[in-house]
Amino acid sequence: MGQYALLYILFAPFLGAIALLFVPNRQVLQVRLIAAASAGISLLASIYLFFAFDPVKGGYQFIQRFEWSKELGISFHLGVDGIGTPLVLASAILLFAGVFVSWHIKDRAKEFYIFLLILAAATIGVFMSLDLFFLYFFYEMSVLPMYLLLGVWGSHTKGYLEMTDPEGLKKRDSVGFFFNFGSNSKEYAAMKLTLFLSAGAILALLGILLIYKFSGLHTFDILVLREQAKFSGNLATVIWLLIFFGFASIAPLWPLHSWSPVGHAAAPAATSMLHAGVLMKLGHFSIIRVAFEILPDATRELMPIAAVLCVFSIIYGGFVAFYAKDTKYVIGYSSSSHMGYVFLGMAALDYISLSGAVLYMFAHAMATGMLFAMAGWVYDQTHTRDIPSLGGLVNRMPFVAGCFLIACMASVGMPGTVNFIAEVMILVGSWNKYPFQVIVAVLGIVLTLAYLFRMMRGLFYGPMDSRYSHAHDAVAMVDRMPLLLMIACSIIFGIFPGHFYNVIRAGTDPLVARITQVVPLAAGNGDALGVTRDELKRQADNLSSIARHEADE
């Protein structure tokens, strides 16, 4: 498996989607089993990839390269470093869990699983691509299944049924709300998501084409561009801004965030899991892979922009989540808020903070995946997401309530979860450069504690409306297994983070050294210290002087 691990991970979901095309829709069990098998193969291969990655060797590993167009300089070039490996694992975990979270879907189950598999495979393709053409190709591929998953299998948000036309004679057609930002339909959510992501993708595409044109290398290969591409100051600034804001729209960074919570609210549970868990991380990852790798000087000068905007993401998202009454809106705005922590870790350009940002992307995927899975379960049982109308559900679903508590603790960053380690690394690594932002981030954690546990109290405690007496717990293994899988990942990597930490540092250390022009010195315990090249030269000269003096004596 070692040599072809990336191909197994990437193409297993695609092949599963193709196989489903030949299965009749009425054979629902066979559809589910094929989806589970293809997702399982991808998950097993990603686990192998994660533990087989050599942190000591570092760099890009498991390379696969196939010439696609020599004339255009395009190749199907795959590889993972310490940054891409954890995110590939997160995508595979959430895909496998999402298949079982959606186990009870009956309406066009075959088509649902086809688009879910394509969505997950597209995100995996972005995390593996070492060619700008295919990175962008897979990035755009993720938009189409999201549109269909929301528009067909999504649900209208609160208030949709009360909408009427201007004359008040009939319910308004959701298509008529194309430019109406007060609508609550799933079609509107799907359209808004597509427009925002497509607009951002156009900016990113302009940046990629400028890199291709003005590098003079006639290639889209990221590794070649990283080593050989040189851009003038103004051109580098323009390209960097296009890449940054183009990909930041999917992150989502304030003020480009408004599509995301609406999409969360309308999406089915498994789609929300992939949306929050990995789709949003495509923005951070693509900025790291393109802007950080190819434009290190511009990154060093312009990343303070992210340090400013992340404050608004953290505070605005947190306060909206605090006042939201819809479970998915709470979790959706919480996700937007937490993505500000990733941008803070990236903006500090520190070994510890950037490693914490990558670790936080994985940790957030597990915690938010759990929350959306359980919000979907509660909705399936009660047919409402309105928190004030719920309550007392702990008596009907104690297992889900217990898992919800663990997910809330992970989201807050309680010790014992991988989120805690990631948050501490971001805060510690960012303190010297951005102390104000760190203080805001700490206050954001307190705010997270407030709205998540208030939501839990509203859902599971207090008196229960008799309308929901029919609700039942997740009893079957297919219902419990995805929750237990994500909980296990959050806690196991929180207690035993050693290999995870070393893998990530193998990717972030050389990248930070390249941007900050600091040479990392690896210590025996796997840590890394940073000294400038001038300091390193001075120490070398001193050692040489001492050696000559001892030789003379």
Residue 87: its pLDDT value, please? 93
- C-alpha closest to that of 374 among 326, 318, 328, 442: 328
| Residue 433 in domain | yes
Type of residue numbered 112: F
| Residue 120 in domain | no
Range of the domain at 356: 337-516
Q: Which long-range contacts (CB under 8 A, 24 or more apart) does 393-398 make?
A: 393/459, 393/460, 393/464, 393/468, 393/471, 394/460, 394/461, 395/464, 396/464, 396/468, 396/469, 396/471, 396/472, 396/473, 397/460, 397/471, 397/472, 397/473, 397/474, 398/473
| Residue 308 in domain | no
pLDDT tens, residue by residue, 202-229: 888 999 999 988 888 888 888 888 888 7
Report whether 392 contacts 461 (CB < 8 A): yes
Residue 491: its pLDDT value, please? 92
| Residue 469 in domain | yes
- Copy the structure tokens of residue 500: 């995870």
pLDDT tens, residue by residue, 290-343: 989 888 888 888 888 888 888 888 888 888 888 888 888 888 888 888 888 999
Angle, in degrees to the nearest 10, between helices 5-20 and 84-101: 30
- Looking at per-residue pLDDT, the higher value among 547 and 117 belongs to 117
| Residue 440 in domain | yes
- Copy the structure tokens of residue 103: 């186990």
Instruction: Provide φ and ψ at 471, rounded to 5°.
Output: -60, 145
3-class SS at 164? strand
For the chain, the distance separating the N- and C-terminal CA atoms, rounded to the nearest angstrom, is: 59
3-class SS at 80? strand
**For 31-47, what is the mean pLDDT?**
92
Q: How far apart are CA 453 and CA 447, in angstroms?
A: 10
Q: Which long-range contacts (CB under 8 A, 24 or more apart) does 226-233 make?
A: 226/293, 226/294, 229/294, 231/295, 231/298
Report whether 403 contacts 374 (CB < 8 A): yes
**Per-residue pLDDT band at 157 (split at 50, 70, 90):** low
Residue with token string 């900050």: 516
| Residue 170 in domain | no
pLDDT tens, residue by residue, 107-155: 788 888 999 999 999 999 999 999 999 999 998 888 888 888 877 776 7
Instruction: Provide φ and ψ at 187, rounded to 5°.
Output: -65, -40
Instruction: Provide φ and ψ at 154, rounded to 5°.
Output: -75, -175
| Residue 20 in domain | no
- Give yes or no for residue 364 having a pLDDT over 70: yes
For the chain, give the mean pLDDT: 82
Q: How far apart are CA 129 and CA 79, in angstroms?
A: 6
Q: Count of domains in the chain?
A: 1
Residue 8: its H or E element: helix 5-20
The gap from C-alpha 174 to its chain's centroid, in whole angstroms, comes to 29
| Residue 110 in domain | no
Residue 542: its pLDDT value, please? 47
3-class SS at 2? coil
pLDDT tens, residue by residue, 244-294: 998 888 888 877 777 677 776 777 888 888 888 888 888 899 999 998 988
Report whether 129 contacts 96 (CB < 8 A): no
Residue 543: its pLDDT value, please? 38
Burial class for 448, CB neighbours closer than 10 Å (0-12, 13-18, 19+) = buried
The gap from C-alpha 336 to its chain's centroid, in whole angstroms, comes to 11
The gap from C-alpha 286 to its chain's centroid, in whole angstroms, comes to 11
- C-alpha closest to that of 501 among 428, 434, 421, 430: 421
The gap from C-alpha 92 to its chain's centroid, in whole angstroms, comes to 12
